[in-house]
């Protein structure tokens, strides 16, 4: 789901697919409407160039670190709830949640690294 930089062959954690954002939005909508709105606002933005099909659109996510942390926490809570209440019947849902958690954590780490670089370049 994360886009790969063709020059460095590394994943770009700040780039999310439409699918990942839509899944995050749907999971957040009922219990975390504020976070769902933040994700929906990303989807309302202009997709990155290079795709002529909405199914393959990618978006640059520039949410605040605190918001990203809340999304990770909410997804973690959903995964835990699924484990406790649904057993093996919701295994597919847990796989989706786990994948999304990894993507949002990668974004949080990227934000921290970028903030560190900005601080060190000012000194």
**In this predicted structure, what is the pLDDT of residue 123?**
58
User: Residue 51 sits in which domain range?
Assistant: 4-122
Report the predicted TM-score, pTM, of the whole model to 2 decimal places: 0.85
Q: Could you tell me the two tokens for 89?
A: 């019947």
- At residue 50 the predicted structure's pLDDT band, cuts being 50, 70 and 90, is confident
**Average pLDDT in the chain:** 88
16, HSE (Cβ side, Cα atoms, 13 Å): 29
Given phi > 0 = left and psi -120 to 50 = alpha, else beta, which region is 11? beta
- At residue 7 the predicted structure's pLDDT band, cuts being 50, 70 and 90, is very low
Tell me how many domains the chain contains. Answer: 1
């Amino acid at each position: 789901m994360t886009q790969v930089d063709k020059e460095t062959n590394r994943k770009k954690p700040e780039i999310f697919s439409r699918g990942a954002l839509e899944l995050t939005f749907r999971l957040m909508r009922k219990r975390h409407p504020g976070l769902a709105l933040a994700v929906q606002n990303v989807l309302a933005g202009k997709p990155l160039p290079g795709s002529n099909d909405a199914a393959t659109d990618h978006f640059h996510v520039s949410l605040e670190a605190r918001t990203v942390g809340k999304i990770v926490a909410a997804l973690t809570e959903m995964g835990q709830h699924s484990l406790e209440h649904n057993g093996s019947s919701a295994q597919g849902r847990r796989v989706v949640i786990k994948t999304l958690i990894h993507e949002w954590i990668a974004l949080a780490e990227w934000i921290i690294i970028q903030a560190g670089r900005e601080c060190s370049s000012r000194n």
